[in-house]
Homo-oligomer: A and B are copies of this chain.
């Protein structure tokens, strides 16, 4: 909500046995996945091998009007995408799904993640004459698949070969004239799961909440390294890249995913409750009420309350209409900006010792303002507890934790941060605990942003806007 880490994308794909309103299903599913990316969205539909698509900057319900959906028409396959860009450059050319024509016809591609060798691959293709329309990794993936499609007999084999070359995080959904394909990188950094309907549709989505929204059923997660091919209504797996050690982003549980999603067998909501409970154990405090910063701090606050016995309270009201863009306040109003979105409930905090739970601290500015709201509403003490460890390392696998100089935990000790944001005490969840929040999850985790232990070699350099600024001398 405020000054926090951003997920890059959500993906979706559907295969129906017959020509039907796959576009509408995609629309509602993207609506359910909207929290994974609010910058742009897109839908591509496949009707007898003809792929139509539309993508634009904006939110799903704003971009896809009834008229727009009708123009997309019907089909028996569709894929969709919601996107948050990691760069300031909100370029329409980067919106997805990417729809291209290559040697074997049209292909549509939706991608969540980040390649660690995108720059090197792009350079390689450029040196062979490739042209790029945007700056996203997705075009690089498209070239890699196309390159292999030239020398293989099927699109799925091309994907399989391409995965030998692609490094980093990618959860892909792609559509050829005849097939719907999902693929997940061998570490499984980003979630991707499989659903179905009673009528026989096969569905892929970044999170299981998308299945619920359209009345579909969760089947299982796509395995790290797995390629799932749907053709003529049949689903089959290619598992040549499976079997390595997985490294699911633990921050999906802490913040990114919707609490009603289940990822790798673990409930996101429960993971947050557990994070709160661990926090209570690791950083106990004498207080009168536990409150969460909406929306993602609420579950952990409840877990903290349950573990500690300190009553749970509703300390903040968030304006329901936040999310819509609104005008920038003038200087005079600026310092009140946080109040436009969030208000403290005086009746809950006045005269109380308050434990305030949030999922993370990035720069600290917003935390300071929120703490101030509580002080003004009469809280006598404010103890902040954070349901994840301090960020101290950039992420190369699909989030925008991209440089140390923005991260407050790289520059200050916990005590300094506590002072900076004006709390009486501050406690972070330990790395050891964060690894245990997703109880029973059938995967290992990437916690490199907290530990610096990267599952994959990070790129030597990883400039933002890397391709934008490449201006030759001549």
- Interface of A with B (CB < 8 Å)? 21, 24-25, 27-28, 31-32, 34-35, 48-50, 59-62, 64-66, 69, 93, 99-106, 125-133, 135, 139, 142-143, 146-147, 150, 153-154, 177-178, 209, 212-215, 258-260, 262, 267, 269-270, 295, 298-299, 302, 306, 311-314, 317, 319-321, 323-330, 332-333, 335-336, 339-340, 343-348, 467-472, 474
Structural contact, B130 and A130, CB atoms closer than 8 A: yes
With contact pairs A129-B130, A333-B24, A345-B267 given, residues A327 and B214 touching in the complex (Cβ less than 8 Å): no
Q: Are B104 and A474 in contact (CB under 8 A)?
A: yes
Contacts of A214 in B (CB 8 A): 333, 336, 339
The answer to whether A127 and B104 have CB atoms under 8 Å apart is no
A467 cross-chain contacts in B, Cβ below 8 A: 101
A319 to chain B: which residues have CB within 8 Å? 31-32, 34, 213
Contact partner, A101, options B129, B154, B470, Cβ 8 Å: B470
Interchain CB contact (< 8 A) of A326 among B61, B154, B269, B330: B61
Which B residues are in CB contact (< 8 Å) with A320?
34-35, 295, 323
Within the complex, which residue of B142, B306, B347, B471 is in contact with A267, where a contact is CB–CB below 8 Å? B347
- Determine if A102 and B127 form an interchain contact, defined as CB atoms under 8 angstroms apart: no
A311: contacting residue among B106, B306, B313, B346, CB under 8 A = B306
By a CB distance below 8 angstroms, the chain B residues around A50 are: 468-469, 471
Q: Of residues A49, A139, A147, A333, which shows the largest number of chain B Cβ atoms within 10 Å of its Cβ?
A: A333
Given A101-B467, A105-B472, A214-B339, output 13 extra A-B contacts at Cβ < 8 Å: A31-B319, A31-B321, A60-B321, A102-B130, A103-B129, A104-B474, A129-B150, A131-B142, A177-B472, A215-B336, A260-B346, A295-B320, A299-B314
A31–B131 CB distance below 8 A: no
Nearest-neighbour CB distance to chain B for A67, whole angstroms, equals: 8
Counting chain B CB atoms within 10 Å of each CB, the highest count among A100, A131, A472 belongs to: A131
In the bound complex, residues from chain B placing their C-beta under 8 Å from that of A177 are 471-472
- A48 CA to B469 CA, complexed, in Å: 10
A93 proximity list for chain B (CB < 8 A): 99
Say yes or no: B345 contacts A260, CB within 8 Å: yes
Cα-based distance from A326 to B299 in the complex (angstroms): 28
Q: Do A348 and B269 touch across chains, with their CB atoms under 8 A apart?
A: yes
Contact B321 A34 (CB under 8 A): yes
Query: A125 to nearest B CB, angstroms?
Result: 8
Partner of A69, one of B135, B270, B327, B333: B327
Question: Are the C-beta atoms of B27 and A347 separated by less than 8 Å?
Answer: no
* A340 partner, pick from B28, B298, B321, B325, beta carbons under 8 A: B28
Which chain B residues border A339 with CB–CB below 8 Å? 212-215
Q: How far is the CA of A362 from the CA of B419 in the complex (A)?
A: 50
A70 to chain B, nearest CB (A): 9
Q: Bound complex: CA of A64 vs CA of B324, how far in Å?
A: 12
Q: Give Cα A130 to B130, complex, Å.
A: 6
Q: Contacts A143-B129, A215-B339 given: A321-B267 contact, CB under 8 Å?
A: no
- Tell me whether A332 and B21 are in contact (CB under 8 A): yes
Determine the chain B residues whose CB is within 8 A of the CB of A348 once the complex forms: 269
B321 touches A209 (CB 8 A): no
Assuming the contacts A61-B324, A320-B35, asked whether A146 and B131 have C-beta atoms less than 8 A apart, the reply is yes
The 9 closest A-B pairs by CB, nearest first: A267-B347, A49-B471, A260-B317, A215-B336, A61-B326, A103-B126, A61-B324, A100-B131, A101-B132
B32 touches A102 (CB 8 A): no
